[in-house]
Amino acid sequence: MSHPHPDYGPPPPLRADGLRIIPLGGVGEIGRNMTVFEHSGRLLIVDCGVLFPEDVQPGIDLILPDFSAIRDRLDDIDALILTHAHEDHIGAVPYLLRERRDIPIVGTRLTLALLNAKLTEHRIKAVTQEIREEERHTYGPFECEFFAVNHSIPDAVAVAIRTEAGLVLHTGDFKMDQLPLDGRLTDLGGFARLGREGVDLLLSDSTNAEVPGFVTSEREIAPVLDGVFREATRRIIIACFASHVHRVQQVLDSAEAHGRSVCFVGRSMVRNMGVARDLGLLRVPPGLVVDARDIDSLPDRNICLISTGSQGEPLSALSRMANRDHQIRIQAGDTVVLASSLIPGNENAVFRVINGLTRHGARVVHKGVAKVHTSGHAPAGELLYVLNATRPSNVMPVHGEWRHLRAHAKLAEATGVPADHVVLAEDGMVIDLLDGRARITGVVPCGYVYVDGAAVGDVGEPSLKDRRILGEEGFITITVVVDAAAGKVVVGPDLSARGFTDSPGTFDAVAKLVSDAMSDAMRSGMNDSSALQQLVRRTVGRWVNENYRRRPMIVPVVLEV
């Protein structure tokens, strides 16, 4: 296997007959999917998504791919292809379009509809091209063929990219449910046709590569949901992804069968289901859906709410219900169903929500106790089918953390792909396809770009480190007024703290230490305010460490008269 190496430098110029692949996200992580293809001086991008922050990134709203590697080549982009409309594949598109507004965006009907709804909120009008599976389109030197794939959102596609350098298949996210609710199967026959043509490089979804066997069909979820509806005596609240049209359809069907009215809760849920209904992808029986303002007039046994917040997002509807910060108040006897899987990193947030709901008397049903969710990603058995059907010369596992990528690599080797033809890369690594071989040839800048409110890229790791220190250790400020010429402290030192201690008189002892240290320093000739501030920081820091074994942020302020 080809492994990342810290000694890689910038890649060499790409040969005219070569194809370059640069993952700017989604390799070594789940989210932020974005892959750049380069051939004959032109660029093609597949997906442009976001990564959601973890607890160690306080205050951050979204994490974007780093566009710096292509920022000076925006005019070379022939198209941006979107495989499907999940946020980790389309969420960063508005930010890329801020760099160049007229990048042609290619996607299926639902993908573009959900994207355009998002772009409207950003006040951006995009140049789009709607495509369907089994179609071929050319963008610059890239001939692209699209294949239907089954996923946890309708209208997902894989894309085959043909160039003079070879044929690449990018599966996007997929599974191989043999009884999908919409009858739209993953086109394994099409993949096999590509295999006979000769796939030079396969980029394939690795999320469930560690999971043996085959995916549970969506149809097996319906009886479980039906049982929940049959047993519930008060309100039912279903939390799922706002893009999971199939799951919402199952809930609507069960609600209709059990005489419950449905209310969509959460801005993205209302928006996305409206789009899906308008496109005919969601069947909503007349009179079934009611407005949130009308639910108080209905008996609890006749209410079903479909909400966002299955991942414990702090501002989501379900999290606010758990915190009693929402107009819908959780009551004893309510049934809450978390109809989704846990995204890595969200476990603590989800369990906090579950505990909050349970505290208020709700019965919480989740994947751990009932079959209320099935994954949208192919497990190992299905990945083997794709590997055997496509018979690729080279394989590059994508869309997964390192454990997923390595598990997928072992599957590829088991099907006969030589170990040195399996490329284990990570974000920012440059892979060149030359003479039928894919190899890592260099690296490009590829850090996290943080969105904090309206600011994009203004917050970096140093600021996040400060935020973590403030959140975990608190801070201490020390204000001192000195007469440097006389070599004495005039006022202070005054110490105050936030998030450090509530005990009065805590800093009486250290105040005298600071005053004595500064007086001694000034008498020995130290009169620079910056040097005096450092002295204050060291003195207070040493005292705090010796007495509390803690490392708060220490902010000294030295003023001269």
Per residue in 394-416, pLDDT tens? 999 999 999 999 999 999 999 99
Q: Above 60 in pLDDT, residue 2? A: no
Q: Above 60 in pLDDT, residue 4? A: no
Instruction: Indicate if 76 belongs to the active site.
Output: no
Residue 86 known to bind ligand = yes
pTM: 0.83
Side-chain-facing half-sphere of 146: CA atoms under 13 Å: 21
Q: Above 70 in pLDDT, residue 80? A: yes
Q: Which of 177, 159, 186 minimizes the C-alpha distance to 218?
A: 177
Catalytic hit among 177, 205, 334, 432: 205
Residue 375 known to bind ligand = yes
Q: What pLDDT sits at residue 508?
A: 72
Fold (CATH) for 19-213+376-452: Metallo-beta-lactamase; Chain A (3.60.15)
Percent of the chain with pLDDT strictly greater than 70: 90
Pick the CATH number of 461-560 from 3.30.70.1430, 2.40.110.10, 3.20.20.70, 3.10.20.580: 3.10.20.580
Contacts with 557 (C-beta within 8 Å, 6 or more apart), sequence order = 477, 478, 479, 480, 533
Residue 258 known to bind ligand = no
Arithmetic mean of pLDDT, 256-273: 90
Per residue in 415-441, pLDDT tens? 999 999 999 999 999 999 999 999 999
What gap in Å lies between CA 260 and CA 304, rounded to an integer?
6
Residue 319 known to bind ligand = no
Q: What pLDDT sits at residue 104?
A: 97
Instruction: Indicate if 205 belongs to the active site.
Output: yes
Q: Above 90 in pLDDT, residue 252? A: yes
Domain residue spans of the chain? 19-213+376-452, 218-365, 461-560
Start-end of H helices in 232-346: 245-257, 267-278, 317-322
Q: Which token pair is 69? A: 């590697």
Per residue in 470-486, pLDDT tens? 666 777 788 888 777 66
Strands (E), 327-471: 335-338, 363-365, 395-398, 429-434, 437-443, 449-452, 455-456
Q: What pLDDT sits at residue 476?
A: 79
Amino acid at 378: A
Arithmetic mean of pLDDT, 24-51: 94
Q: What pLDDT sits at residue 457?
A: 61
Q: What pLDDT sits at residue 448?
A: 86
Q: Which token pair is 77? A: 């982009």
Domain 218-365: give its CATH superfamily.
Answer: Metallo-hydrolase/oxidoreductase (3.40.50.10710)
Catalytic hit among 39, 246, 366, 377: 377
Per residue in 274-331, pLDDT tens? 999 999 999 999 999 998 888 888 898 999 999 887 665 666 777 788 777 777 888 8
> Average pLDDT of the chain?
87
Per residue in 340-352, pLDDT tens? 776 665 667 777 8
Residue 377 known to bind ligand = yes
Q: What pLDDT sits at residue 554?
A: 82
Q: Which token pair is 359? A: 């505290």
Q: How far apart are the first and last CA of the chain?
A: 67
More confident residue, 269 or 141: 141
Q: Above 70 in pLDDT, residue 6? A: no
More confident residue, 538 or 108: 108
More confident residue, 462 or 271: 271
Per residue in 106-115, pLDDT tens? 999 999 999 9
Q: Above 70 in pLDDT, residue 236? A: yes
Per residue in 134-171, pLDDT tens? 999 999 999 999 999 999 999 999 999 999 999 999 99
Contacts with 315 (C-beta within 8 Å, 6 or more apart), sequence order = none
